Amino acid sequence: MIPKECKRLAEVDFPIAEVSRHAAREKSIRHGHPSTLHLWWARRPLAACRAMLLGLLWPDPCDPHCPGEFRQKARQLLPGVPGRVGPTDEDLRKALLKFIAGFANWDLSKNRNYLEVSRALIKAAHGDEPPLVVDPFAGGGSIPLEALRLGCETFASDLNPVACLILKVMLEDIPRQGPELAAELRRVGGEIKRQAEQALAELYPRDPDGAVPIAYLWARTVRCESPNCGAEIPLMRSFWLCRKANRRRALRYKVVKGGPPRVEFEIFAPKSDKEVPGGTVTRAKATCLCCNRVLLPDRVRVQLAGQRGGADVVFDSKGNRIGGARMLAVVTLQPDIQGRNYRLPTGRDYEAVWKAQKGLKEILDEWERGGKKGLCPVPDEPTPAGGGSGAGRAFSVQRYGMLQWGDLFTARQKVALATLVDHVSILKEQAITASQEMLSIVINRCADYWSSLCSWHLTGEKVNHTFGRQALPMIWDYCEVFPFSDSSGN
Ligand SMILES: [Zn+2]
């Protein structure tokens, strides 16, 4: 055991420059990194956690109270990893710091030699009973994960249930069950995907020519309030659909008179940027395409608040669209043709949305009939208040009437998510707990990609997820993806 009076290595020195360099590099690594398991805020690089844990768990060999066994073991083991160790205690300290700096490298994080030496030296310092590392606010779990890998006993907790789910999966399920869990997850997940795809088939119809719609591009709408106009203004940040060098597509419009004015769209391949109209909305100021008058931000917000954010189509009793969100274009994949195709929406596309709205009502009615047991199938908790200054500015959705989390999603997205939740919840009754937890994580990722705050990536031709930054900003024209495509967001 390290006596109380003995300084820990991190109290006297720490290879901060090298660890920083490794930590910065680690941040750009996505493939195979535990942080990709689930989105979490302010993730600490594993490199920094591993290095600091060793610095805190190992004693300073120059301290007179340092256990002799630790010095001896370090002299014995270190030459095998970072190289030769000089004769003095100072030399030993240098070698330990060099080891810590080297082990911060992502490429060596799974290296057996480094792991074994780390564990052996922790044991030499602490005795046979492994030290307990406690992280009461563990968040994404970088510290407890590294502590476990270094052979410590670990206790991790968090106030946020999402963080707890991440911790449970990463620190308990995966280490306990290993590769078998991956096999079970593929099996159970595949089965759920098959069932959900079947259950949702009529909400995502194929085109009559066999093309598969992979994304629906939408605009929220408001009404022009200038006298004698009253036209619908689709709120569009841009008229571009695709800005790839080899495929440039955009919308252009014409105003149709006779009755209240309205706009009709057309898809074309612009030869120069000048042919593409500018957007209709900047900083919440909307410009009417029919009379060119401006609708001020306050009015835009009031009108959208009246539609709970405006992500849903408003239909009459026969299923004809009379307002709300307007579909601008549908992105499809055609059999035997490479690349994405852009077409205008048809009645079939809106019919599927109408069916989704009826399906959603059915889901909510059933919950009410059952006495509203458990959580509402559509999250009805309040969204974060904000829109003021400081941190609150990150959350502007309440200003547009998205007062509950459910308001962030279209009816079809809600049905899709509720269907997945249903299928995954059943696993709990069947005691397939670990896969159930991992699939909950999958649903969370789906929710990130299936909200009305996802925009369309104009050059990547793919959906951007909700939390591109740590905020919930208004997205005027958003993208709704087909959940079972082979493209991103599936
Ligand atoms: Zn107008």
Residues 278 and 360 in one domain: no
Ligand 1 center–CA 327 separation, angstroms: 20
Ligand 1 center–CA 294 separation, angstroms: 8
One-letter identity of residue 109: S
Ligand 1 center–CA 230 separation, angstroms: 6
DSSP state of 107: G
Does residue 4 lie in a domain region? Answer: no
Tokens of 221: 């709408």
Does residue 3 lie in a domain region? Answer: no
CA 218 vs CA 448, 454, 481: distances in Å: 17, 10, 11
Ligand 1 center–CA 282 separation, angstroms: 16
Which pLDDT value is given to residue 388? 58
Name the maximum alpha-carbon separation found in the chain.
Answer: 95
Does residue 441 lie in a domain region? Answer: yes
Ligand 1 center–CA 124 separation, angstroms: 78
One-letter identity of residue 23: A
Ligand 1 center–CA 232 separation, angstroms: 8
Measure the CA–CA gap between 82 and 262, rounded to whole angstroms.
73
Residues 79 and 96 in one domain: yes
Residues 393 and 483 in one domain: yes
DSSP state of 171: I
Supply the DSSP string of 234-279, one letter for each residue.
Answer: E--SBSEEEEETTEEEEEEEEEE-SSS-EEEEEEE--SSGGGSPBP
Does residue 372 lie in a domain region? Answer: yes
With CA atoms as reference, report the closest residue to 485 among 438, 441, 450: 450
Ligand 1 center–CA 242 separation, angstroms: 28
Asked which of 306, 322, 344 is the last residue of a domain, the reply is 306
Tokens of 78: 């270190």
Cβ contacts of residue 256 below 8 Å, gap of 6+? Answer: 262, 263, 264
Asked which of 252, 281, 306 is the last residue of a domain, the reply is 306
Using DSSP, how many helices (H) and how many strands (E) does the chain show? 14, 18
Residues 200 and 267 in one domain: no
Supply the DSSP string of 133-152, one letter for each residue.
Answer: EEETT-TT-HHHHHHHHTT-
Measure the CA–CA gap between 376 and 363, rounded to whole angstroms.
10
Ligand 1 center–CA 125 separation, angstroms: 77
Ligand 1 center–CA 261 separation, angstroms: 8
Asked which of 262, 284, 306 is the last residue of a domain, the reply is 306
Which pLDDT value is given to residue 387? 58
Ligand 1 center–CA 408 separation, angstroms: 28
Supply the DSSP string of 86-139, one letter for each residue.
Answer: -SSHHHHHHHHHHHHHHHTSGGGTT-HHHHHHHHHHHHHHH-SSPPEEEETT-T
Ligand 1 center–CA 288 separation, angstroms: 5
Ligand 1 center–CA 300 separation, angstroms: 13
Ligand 1 center–CA 280 separation, angstroms: 12
Which pLDDT value is given to residue 359? 98
Does residue 261 lie in a domain region? Answer: yes
> 334 burial class (0-12, 13-18, 19+ CB within 10 angstroms)?
middle
Ligand 1 center–CA 287 separation, angstroms: 8
The 10s digit of each residue's pLDDT in 146-196 is 999 999 999 999 999 999 999 999 999 999 998 999 999 999 999 999 999
CA 321 vs CA 243, 253, 316, 420, 464: distances in Å: 30, 19, 6, 28, 27
Residues 208 and 317 in one domain: yes
Which pLDDT value is given to residue 488? 86
Does residue 2 lie in a domain region? Answer: no
Which pLDDT value is given to residue 390? 56
Residues 409 and 357 in one domain: yes
Cβ(404)–Cβ(379) below 8 Å: yes
Does residue 200 lie in a domain region? Answer: yes
Residues 143 and 249 in one domain: no
Map residue 342 onto helix, strand or coil.
strand
What is the extent of the structural domain holding 298? 221-306
Ligand 1 center–CA 228 separation, angstroms: 8
Task: Write out residues in the chain with pLDDT < 50, as ranges.
Answer: none
* Number of structural domains in the chain: 3
Ligand 1 center–CA 320 separation, angstroms: 23
One-letter identity of residue 297: P
Ligand 1 center–CA 411 separation, angstroms: 29
Residues 227 and 85 in one domain: no
Residues 466 and 321 in one domain: yes
Residue 93 Cα to chain centre, angstroms: 42
What does pLDDT average to over the chain? 94
Ligand 1 center–CA 315 separation, angstroms: 22
DSSP state of 467: T
Residues 320 and 295 in one domain: no
Ligand 1 center–CA 258 separation, angstroms: 14
Which pLDDT value is given to residue 389? 56
Residues 152 and 67 in one domain: yes
Residues 430 and 335 in one domain: yes
DSSP state of 170: I
Ligand 1 center–CA 474 separation, angstroms: 23
Which pLDDT value is given to residue 33? 93
Give the position of tokens 């269907």.
419
